Structure 1
Amino acid sequence: MNKTDRLTSLDQRAVEYIAVGAAVLGTGGGGDPHVGKLMALEAIRRHGPVQIVQLEELDDDGLIVPVSMIGAPTVMQEKIPSAEQLTKPLDLMEKELGRKVTAVMPIEVGGGNSLVPVLAAAERGIPLVDADAMGRAFPESQMVTFHLEGIACSPVTMADERGNTALLHTIDGVWEERLARALTVEMGGSASICDYPLSGAQAKRSAIGGTLTLAYEIGRTLFEAKQQKLNPVRELLAQLDGHALFQGKAVDIRRRMDGGFTRGEAVFEGTGKDKGQLMKLFFQNEFLLATVEDQPLAITPDLIALLDQDTGMPVTTENLKYGARVIAAGFPCDAKWRTDKGIETAGPRYFGYDLDYVPIETLASKGGAAE
Structure 2
Amino acid sequence: MFIDDAAVLADLASGAAFLGSGGGGDPYYSLLLAEAALARCGRFELVSLADVADDALLAPCGWIGAPTVSVEKLPNGKEAVSGLRRLEEIMGKPIDAVLPIEIGGGNGLAPFIAAAELGIPVIDCDGMGRAFPESQMAIFNIRGISACPSVLTAADGSLSVIETGDNLTHERIARALAVSLGGIAHMVEYPLTGAEAKAHAVPGSVSAAIAVGRAVREARAGGADPFAALGKALEATGLYPHCLTLFDGKIVDLERETRGGFSVGTVTIDGFADSGRMEIEFQNENLVATRDGKVLAMVPDIITVMDRDTADTITTEKLKYGQRVKVIAAAAPDILRDDHALSFVGPRAFGMGYDFAPVEALNETETA
Taking structure 1 as the reference length, what is the TM-score of the superposition? 0.95
1:185 aligns to 2:179 (yes or no):
yes
In the TM superposition, residue 234 of structure 1 has moved relative to its aligned partner by 1.9
In the TM superposition, residue 364 of structure 1 has moved relative to its aligned partner by 1.1
In the TM superposition, residue 370 of structure 1 has moved relative to its aligned partner by 11
In the TM superposition, residue 82 of structure 1 has moved relative to its aligned partner by 2.6
Asked if the contact 2:211/2:233 (under 8 Å) is kept, the reply is no
5+ unaligned residues in a row in structure 1: which ranges?
Answer: 1-6
Which residue identity is paired with 1:327?
Answer: K
Aligned pairs, how many?
A: 361
What's the CA shift string for 1:71-124, capped at 9, x where partnerless?
A: 111111222223321111111111111111010110111000000111100000
Asked if the contact 2:231/2:367 (under 8 Å) is kept, the reply is no
1:52 aligns to 2:46 (yes or no):
yes
Partner residue, 2:281: 282
- Bigger drift between 279-288 and 70-79 goes to 70-79
In the TM superposition, residue 10 of structure 1 has moved relative to its aligned partner by 4.8
The whole-number CA distance in structure 2 between the counterparts of 1:214 and 1:80 is 28
Secondary structure of residue in 2 paired with 1:314:
coil
What's the CA shift string for 1:212-235, capped at 9, x where partnerless?
A: 111111111111111111111122
Partner residue, 1:258: 259
Q: How does 1:67-216 map to 2 (within 5 A)?
A: 67-216=61-210
1:313 aligns to 2:312 (yes or no):
yes
Asked if the contact 1:106/1:115 (under 8 Å) is kept, the reply is yes
Secondary structure of residue in 2 paired with 1:329:
strand
Partner residue, 2:335: 336
Asked if the contact 2:83/2:153 (under 8 Å) is kept, the reply is yes
1:34 aligns to 2:43 (yes or no):
no
The whole-number CA distance in structure 1 between the counterparts of 2:57 and 2:275 is 55
What's the CA shift string for 1:55-80, capped at 9, x where partnerless?
A: 01111111000121111111112222
5+ unaligned residues in a row in structure 2: which ranges?
Answer: 235-241
In the TM superposition, residue 358 of structure 1 has moved relative to its aligned partner by 0.2
The whole-number CA distance in structure 2 between the counterparts of 1:310 and 1:193 is 36
What's the CA shift string for 1:204-253, capped at 9, x where partnerless?
A: 11111111111111111111111111111122123323011111100001
The whole-number CA distance in structure 2 between the counterparts of 1:47 and 1:350 is 42
Which residue identity is paired with 1:153?
Answer: A
Asked if the contact 1:11/1:50 (under 8 Å) is kept, the reply is no
Secondary structure of residue in 1 paired with 2:322:
coil
The whole-number CA distance in structure 2 between the counterparts of 1:57 and 1:35 is 30
Which residue identity is paired with 2:287?
Answer: L
In the TM superposition, residue 276 of structure 1 has moved relative to its aligned partner by 4.5
Structure 1 stretches of 4+ moved >4 Å: none
What's the CA shift string for 1:100-158, capped at 9, x where partnerless?
A: 10101101110000001111000000001111011111100011111111111110111
Question: Over aligned residue pairs, what C-alpha RMSD do you find?
Answer: 1.4
Partner residue, 2:215: 221
Partner residue, 1:23: 17
Partner residue, 1:14: 8
What's the CA shift string for 1:161-196, capped at 9, x where partnerless?
A: 111110111122211111100011001100011000
Asked if the contact 1:10/1:52 (under 8 Å) is kept, the reply is no
- Bigger drift between 40-49 and 75-84 goes to 75-84
Which residue identity is paired with 1:254?
Answer: E
Taking structure 2 as the reference length, what is the TM-score of the superposition? 0.95
The whole-number CA distance in structure 2 between the counterparts of 1:58 and 1:160 is 30
Asked if the contact 1:246/1:370 (under 8 Å) is kept, the reply is no
Asked if the contact 1:185/1:259 (under 8 Å) is kept, the reply is yes
1:247 aligns to 2:248 (yes or no):
yes
What's the CA shift string for 1:328-356, capped at 9, x where partnerless?
A: 11100011111112111011111122221
The whole-number CA distance in structure 1 between the counterparts of 2:291 and 2:367 is 11
Secondary structure of residue in 2 paired with 1:318:
helix
Secondary structure of residue in 2 paired with 1:250:
strand
Partner residue, 2:354: 355
The whole-number CA distance in structure 2 between the counterparts of 1:80 and 1:34 is 11
- Over the matched positions of the two proteins, sequence identity in percent amounts to 41
In the TM superposition, residue 8 of structure 1 has moved relative to its aligned partner by 3.5
Secondary structure of residue in 2 paired with 1:350:
helix
Partner residue, 1:3: none
The whole-number CA distance in structure 2 between the counterparts of 1:58 and 1:90 is 19
Asked if the contact 1:233/1:307 (under 8 Å) is kept, the reply is no
Which residue identity is paired with 1:228?
Answer: G
In the TM superposition, residue 9 of structure 1 has moved relative to its aligned partner by 2.7
Asked if the contact 1:237/1:244 (under 8 Å) is kept, the reply is no
Partner residue, 2:292: 293
